[in-house]
Chains A and B, each alone.
Chain A
């Protein structure tokens, strides 16, 4: 039976994700309550404001926050775009805001600066094929560092917007970021700093559906390793994830 995909519908660009999922011939279900989670095989956390989603999930009689944690612990796939990637992260730089703390990544919110530095670009993402992907970043986050079990799928140069000026600004961090991670996967969790749901290119959603259907095993391919090394001679400084 074709999978049903939930889109967390507390706030954000829900309709755009539903449209992408439906364009791939799957059913999209807008999720507002914990009980609805039983009927989906994968969950998308859309773009939006991470402080809003933290407030709405923490300060709510409904147990949706715990239910999503269980869903992740059970190995069910979750894809977070922009706000979704922040909500999934273990560490959010300089913030104690609520989060699922499921993925071994450290993110910086709004890493490129205000909206005038929001941008579109093309990214080469080997797992999606040779055709570059049009990627739209809207006050987007970046992943500053990730543990070894996280697959890095795409990066951008650190000289975009204010990223280069701010990366490495905290004590103990290298000031020599040459690039930052903008798409990554850790087992059942997929995140992107950009918004494939705003374009007609369905490859990222298709990849996520393959994860849901068990057709995209998490592993580091040879191509992928080559990509990491050619794009980034200096890898991001290793980090120790603080207990959250």
Chain B
């Protein structure tokens, strides 16, 4: 058994503790995490100011176009990406595919995305993320889903949005839903919490914690359909703590320029003058596809349980 316990103690040194796993995403706040499929793209992302890169086999727009089963990246590519940049490297594993996650951890990635963008390996159970030494990020559409993932050990949550569309509407829907449910929960009387936990299918202890603190116990980013600097700033103003950009950068006309513009927009999200400046002359955005035009079988956000 490769992975037995998350915490390892050597002398006075403790690795893989909850605190240490939750802290990595805390350092990424206010930043942009960019999807990359190879080392060249990773270098462009780093040079543009990305706080981390996400290694995957194909960006979501290509997964949609090409179809087929989508899996973890080739370890050779992941290793090359790790070598090529100094910023943290994340990589995607299929939902429930804990062996892909074990492989990614052994390669030295800094964080694993158990992602609905890849083809799920298990239609009932997610990975037991508490067993791993490195943090996981998971997608969520609502508070119940977010708290189930945190209950399984996720150290970071992102909205699912609808990846590979360039349409931000689903990311907005999911962020508003999660943040709205947190707001409602924070004024809910104590006696209603157990029934609420039952209704949303979330662990009671986490529901109580969110009610008391008025926020998720882990960092909360937006993802899925963010294609422009204005999209990134919109998500930040709605109340997330950072953004993931997938197909939006490397499927656009000028990836370098757009990547930097989205980085600046995420920092100066409250400053329309900066947003106007960075949004000028970015070249062609990715060719979008409205999320509403997707057939039920094409939606990725419905994956996850």
Residues of chain A whose beta carbon lies under 8 Å from any beta carbon of chain B:
9-16, 32, 47-49, 51-52, 55-56, 59-61, 82-83, 95, 109-110, 113-122, 136, 138-139, 157, 160-161, 195, 198
Residues in A with CB closer than 8 Å to B46 are 51
- Tell me if A11 and B29 are in contact (CB < 8 A): yes
- 7 smallest A-B Cβ distances: which pairs? A55-B49, A115-B110, A11-B30, A114-B108, A49-B51, A13-B26, A119-B15
Interface locus among B81-89, B116-124, B223-231: B81-89
| Alpha-carbon distance between A49 and B267 when the two chains are bound, in angstroms | 13
**Chain A residues with CB under 8 A of B267:** 10-11, 32, 56
Query: A160–B11 Cα gap in the complex (Å)?
Result: 10
- Residues from chain A with Cβ under 8 Å of B51 in the complex: 11, 48-49, 52
Majority secondary structure of chain A interface residues (helix, strand, loop or mixed):
loop
CB-CB under 8 A from A10, the residues of chain B are 30, 267
Cross-chain contact of A118 among B15, B29, B268 (Cβ < 8 A): B15
Tell yes or no: B59 within 8 A of A by CB: no
Size bracket of the B interface = 35 or more
Contact A56 B264 (CB under 8 A): yes
The distance in angstroms between the C-alpha atoms of A161 and B105, with both chains bound, is 15
Which chain B residues border A61 with CB–CB below 8 Å? 277
Contact B31 A52 (CB under 8 A): yes
- For this complex, 18 residue pairs linking A to B, each with C-beta atoms less than 8 Å apart, are A10-B30, A12-B29, A12-B30, A13-B26, A32-B267, A48-B51, A52-B50, A55-B48, A55-B49, A56-B264, A59-B264, A109-B86, A115-B135, A116-B16, A119-B13, A120-B14, A138-B26, A139-B110
- State the total of A-B contacts with C-beta under 8 angstroms: 123
A-binding residues in B (CB < 8 A): 11-17, 19-20, 23-24, 26-31, 46-52, 82, 86-89, 105, 108-111, 133-135, 260, 263-264, 267-268, 271, 277
Assess A47 versus B30: contact at CB under 8 Å? Given A56-B267, A121-B12, A139-B110. no
Alpha-carbon gap, A102 to B236, bound state (A) = 32
User: Nearest-CB distance from A114 to chain B (Å)?
Assistant: 4
A119, B20: Cβ atoms closer than 8 Å: yes
Please indicate the chain B residues that have their CB under 8 angstroms from the CB of A51 in the complex.
Answer: 46, 49, 86-87
Note all chain A residues with C-beta closer than 8 A to B88: 49, 115, 139
Q: Nearest Cβ distance between residue B6 and chain A, in whole angstroms?
A: 10
Chain A residues, Cβ within 8 Å of B89? 114
Contacts A48-B29, A52-B49, A116-B15 supplied; 5 other A-B pairs, CB < 8 Å: A14-B29, A15-B29, A48-B30, A51-B87, A120-B13
Docked complex Cα distance between A136 and B26 (Å): 12
Provide the residues of chain A in CB contact with B16, threshold 8 Å: 116
Chain A residues, CB < 8 A from B82: 114
Given contacts A115-B110, A119-B20, whether A48 and B14 have CB atoms under 8 Å apart is no
Chain B residues with CB under 8 Å of A139's CB are 24, 27, 88, 110
